[in-house]
Amino acid sequence: MGDGDLVLKRAHTDFGDYEEDVIAEILARLPVKSLMRFRCVCKSWRALISESYFVKKHLSYGERGITESTPRFIFMLDPPLSLDFEALMKDDDCDGAAGGQSAVTQLDFPVPKTIPDYGWRVVIGSCNGLVCLEVPPEAIMLWNPGTRDSKVLPKPPCVINSGFNYHFFGFGYDSASDDYKVIRGFTNDLAKKIMIHIFSLKTGTWRVLKDIDYVTFKTWQGLFLNGALHWLYNLPEGGSRILAFDLEAEKFHKTIPLPCDDWFYDPLIHKNCLCVVASPTGNDSFNIWMMKEYGVKESWTEVVQFSVENYAEDYYEFRSYCTPVCILENGVVLNDKMGEYEHLLVVLSNLKEKTFKHVVEVANSMEFMTVIYRETLVSPDIHTYKTNIICR
């Protein structure tokens, strides 16, 4: 083979790598639904879409707004229902209780035959497109609603006659170890201690942390942000704070002060910032505060204020059952539980005019939970990712 042949071969190889990079760049900008179809185009595309580096690229593009990745809201019914927020807000012609139904789709929830399923699921948390669920009485699952992949985790350690009660939980991502972790927290009111079960998806094992200082949790589900899970808790002297559990260090590492001494509840995440809801005393309004600089009390800013005067006759009953779950560009999505068994999703569609619009009504014979997620390619089984060698 002459020098000219070597040059031509090298040029062809370089062009092939370039073509592959261009294809990966284009595909990484597509929504999950399209990529699930494109896996059938050819073997090389199927391998590419399953690659760890491609999954992370697609996830990164979604976080930066390059790839379409709008938030979705899941009603954990049997079967679950998914609500597309973007489609919901585009559906301006819908009025009354029937409005917004076009934004709702039914999901397939895969429950293996190896575990009992009574239709009740506890939402532990959601992170990077993965939803972590407890299927009572004993199973914990990871589920990607976008790809329909799921994984049943090994059984957690048993807690028998120890004085500890299951009280809080959470699910998040440890970027330092590239690992997803599940948290099950137990409190002992008499011993004034906390015990935590931690599951590592990378190792596939549970570990136990004991003798942690006691606090009184105000919320059960931890919100994942900045590598930590966050809960509201009560101070012994009165008032509340936010407690953060660092997933890398696996310990509570800081408390975050709230903006003032008002009554706060229902924390949520908006634009990668912690938010809390306040109901000022002697007022018929909801105020949502956002901590624009993580951990800095002075950065708390009131971003939403609205009155419920035109929606509910009994404001205190409304405040007890209504939970803000998502802030949109032109409104706030509320999960309204007005009644023991009937749950109603409400959209505050116009903040300036302070008008409410019912968009989806869901009636069910039992109470159910909800969760917000974004569609990604992240697999619930970390071992299913391929190497970076793409088959041709």
Entry pTM: 0.85
Q: Which pLDDT belongs to residue 319? A: 60
Give me the phi and psi of 221, to 5 degrees please.
Answer: -90, 125
How far apart CA 79 and CA 121 sit, in angstroms, is 11
List the beta strands (DSSP E) in 163-297.
165-174, 179-188, 193-200, 205-213, 216-217, 223-225, 228-234, 240-246, 251-257, 264-270, 273-278, 285-291
Interval 223-279: pLDDT, tens: 999 999 999 998 887 778 899 999 999 999 878 889 887 778 889 998 889 999 887
Interval 348-360: pLDDT, tens: 655 666 666 666 6
Tell me what the mean pLDDT of segment 206-211 comes to.
93
Question: Nearest Cα to 129, choosing from 201, 72, 68, 80?
Answer: 72
Q: Which pLDDT belongs to residue 187? A: 93
Tell me what the mean pLDDT of segment 206-212 comes to.
93
Token match 């790839």: residue? 67
Mean per-residue pLDDT over the chain, rounded? 79
Pairing, β 370-374 against β 355-363: unpaired
Give the residue, 307 or 15, on which the prediction is more confident: 307
Tell me what the mean pLDDT of segment 74-79 comes to.
80
Q: Which pLDDT belongs to residue 377? A: 93
Collapse the DSSP code of 239 into the 3-class scheme (helix H, G, I; strand E, B; otherwise coil) and give the result: coil
